[in-house]
Amino acid sequence: MKKVFAALVWAPALSFSALASAQVALYPSGPDEDAAFIRFINATPAPLDVIGQAGQPPLRLETAQPASLLFPVDSTKPVKGSLVSGAHQLALDLKVEPGEFATIVVVPQVAGIQQVAVRETPDDFNGLKASLAFVNVDKSCGDASLRPAGRTADLFKAVPVDSLQRRSINPVNLSVQLVCANVNVGAPLDLGALKAGERYSVLLVPSATGPRLLSATDTLSH
């Protein structure tokens, strides 16, 4: 876990670098040996406010910049707060284990919003490779696959709903294509130039127009 922690500390933010200076600690962190991490993804069509510890201003995630940084939290205590989007509010009460990385994705529902927690305990780090995760939280695309645009070989194959897969890949320019039920869905998503030693995530989320992809750099908040 310490290797992963070190890698994240030094990884610069890419897709949401403007948020780095604005995002303050949402929660108090515990001892390093008990460190856990949490981040939030706004997959709704409206801004999302994440309300953490008392006295801290809400963290706002706009639709154009939907991913927060990874916040260290105390694994000995539950993470509590509220998720607010327009008139809809959800209570957050989640235990994150030592060394665990929890991604909370807020997705639209017919009558409001829903939160989905996807957990990961990274144990791999290769400074010569980029690390890419594929997170599926769209029930309409079970066993989703992801492949390089214009190719037929899958980067990720049959990822179940509410789960993720991660792999190391060469640091190259990459665009990815979503595949549901062996059919290409939507336009390719351009991830840009992946860098060696950095970690990235592609998230499959629901929308009013069907499955869509979001991208984030897995960067630790200071």
At 87-105, the pLDDT tens digits run 999 999 999 999 999 999 9
Task: Give the rounded distance of the alpha carbon of 205 from its chain centre.
Answer: 11
- For the ranges 13-22, 68-77, 172-181, 196-205, the lowest mean pLDDT is seen at 13-22
At residue 109, does pLDDT exceed 70? yes
Mean pLDDT for the stretch of residues 59-74? 94
Residue 222 in tokens: 């200071």
At residue 211, does pLDDT exceed 50? yes
| 204 strand-pairing partners | 136, 213
Residue 54 pLDDT: 72
pLDDT band at 6 (very low <50, low <70, confident <90, very high): very low
Task: Give the rounded distance of the alpha carbon of 126 from its chain centre.
Answer: 20
Residue 125 pLDDT: 73
Residue 31 pLDDT: 60
Residue 117 pLDDT: 97
Q: Which is it for strands 35-42 and 71-74: parallel, antiparallel or unpaired? A: antiparallel
pTM, whole model, 2 decimals? Answer: 0.85
117-157: pLDDT as tens digits:
999 998 767 889 999 999 999 999 988 999 999 999 999 99
What does pLDDT average to over the chain? 86
Residue 169 pLDDT: 95
Dihedral angle over CA of 97, 102, 106, 112, nearest 10: -10
Q: CA geometry: angle at 60 spanning 201 and 205, to 5°?
A: 35
Residue 192 pLDDT: 97
pLDDT band at 19 (very low <50, low <70, confident <90, very high): very low
Give the other-Cβ count within 10 Å of 9's Cβ. Answer: 12
Cβ burial 189-217 (10 Å sphere, 16+ → b, else e): bebeebeeebbbbbbbbbbeeebbbbbbb
At residue 4, does pLDDT exceed 50? no
161-188: pLDDT as tens digits:
999 999 999 999 999 999 999 999 999 9
Q: CA geometry: angle at 160 spanning 147 and 98, to 5°?
A: 105
Residue 21 pLDDT: 38
DSSP letters, 66-131, are: -BPPBEEEETTS-EEEEEEETTEEEEEEE---TT-EEEEEEEEETTEEEEEEEEE------TTSEE
